Amino acid sequence: MENNSCLKNRCVIVGGAEIKNYDLIKKYFSPEDFFIYCDCGLKHEKNFGIKPDLIIGDFDSHDMPQDLSNVIILPVIKDDTDTIFAVKEAMKRGFDDFILTGVTGGRQDHNLGNIYALLMLAEKNKNALIVDDYSEIKLIKANEKIKIKRGWKFFSLINISGTAKGIFITGAKYNLENAEITPDFQYGISNEILDDYAEIFLSEGSLLLICVR
């Protein structure tokens, strides 16, 4: 049977972290999205009102579904978390665009592991966004010009790998010109948009862009 999941334009991966404002998160979704719920991420199904196209988990934190027709059961002892396995499975199925939600908040080890998934996806030339009740998180790559519209309370640039060089910020409270940020000196936190939008560019490396509501 032909796998038609890649005909949908984007994959949404739902983890088990707390979500309070479901209406806010649902604004990011499209009717054509392919939904993967990861283990206890299934607790969000009712509030989203969206049935899973695929369920992945070892079910150490949620009851196993009775219908296993769209379920990948993982062993408890494994290298990948349920969420990271879901990301890799979605890439195998041909998806290039991702939204991850329910993947930040609670346990810091899972938070960091899921945020670093953005680096893995970027290295595969995939587009990915983490959304939660408080923020949007994406990875900016070299030579990528980003505009952030006014309306966010803060935005931050954080380096999680190597050295980011040739950083330019305009239209913000704290502008930069040909700067660099290293993982051991994170001075790009809590900036503010002053104009209609702020613009960010870097010539080398990558940076996390976190826009705070």
The whole domain housing 66 covers 5-132
User: Quick one: average pLDDT of 31-59?
Assistant: 93
Q: Please check whether residues 165 and 198 belong to one and the same domain.
A: yes
Q: Are residues 162 and 203 in the same domain?
A: yes
pTM: 0.89
Does position 41 have pLDDT exceeding 80, yes or no? yes
3-state SS class at 167: strand
- What's the pLDDT tens digit per position in 171-189? 999 999 999 999 999 999 9
Is the CB of residue 205 less than 8 Å from the CB of residue 162?
A: yes
Least confident of 26-30, 105-109, 132-136, 154-158: 105-109
Cα 169 to Cα 35, 128, 145, 152: the distances in Å are 35, 22, 10, 16
If asked whether residues 29 and 114 sit together in one domain, one would say: yes
Do 60 and 161 belong to one domain? no
109, 132, 155: which is the final residue of a domain? 132
Is there a single domain that holds both residue 106 and residue 164?
A: no
Query: How far apart are the C-alpha atoms of 183 and 187, rounded to whole Å?
Result: 10
25 with 93, same domain: the answer is: yes
Q: 35-39, 74-78, 149-153: which range is least confident on average?
A: 74-78
Instruction: Give the integer Cα–Cα distance in Å for 138 and 158.
Output: 11
Question: What pLDDT was estimated at residue 65?
Answer: 67
Alpha carbon separation from 111 to 20, 108, 118, 184, 213 (Å, rounded): 17, 5, 12, 19, 19
- pLDDT tier at 4 (50, 70, 90 boundaries)? very low
Residue 35 predicted with pLDDT over 50 = yes
pLDDT tens for 5-29 read: 444 689 999 999 999 999 999 999 9
Asked whether residue 183 falls in the same domain as residue 91, the answer is no
Q: Kindly report which listed range (45-49, 72-76, 87-91, 171-175) carries the lowest average pLDDT score.
A: 72-76
CATH code of residue 90: 3.40.50.10240
Shared domain check, 204 and 156: yes
The pLDDT > 90 percentage for the chain reads: 78
Give the residue from 111, 132, 153 where a domain finishes.
132
What is the domain count for the chain? 2
Closest CA to 38 of 87, 91, 78: 87
Is residue 18 within 8 A of residue 41, CB to CB? The reply is no
Question: In the listed set 132, 148, 164, which residue is the last one of a domain according to the structure?
Answer: 132
Residues 47 and 107 in one domain: yes
Distance CA 133, CA 28 (A): 12
Do 95 and 194 fall within a single domain? no
Q: Let me know whether 147 and 101 are in one domain.
A: no
Residues 10 and 95 in one domain: yes
Q: What mean pLDDT value characterizes the chain? A: 91
pLDDT (0 to 100) of residue 1: 35
Query: At 178, which CATH number?
Result: 2.60.120.320
What pLDDT was estimated at residue 70? 83
pLDDT the model gives residue 62:
64
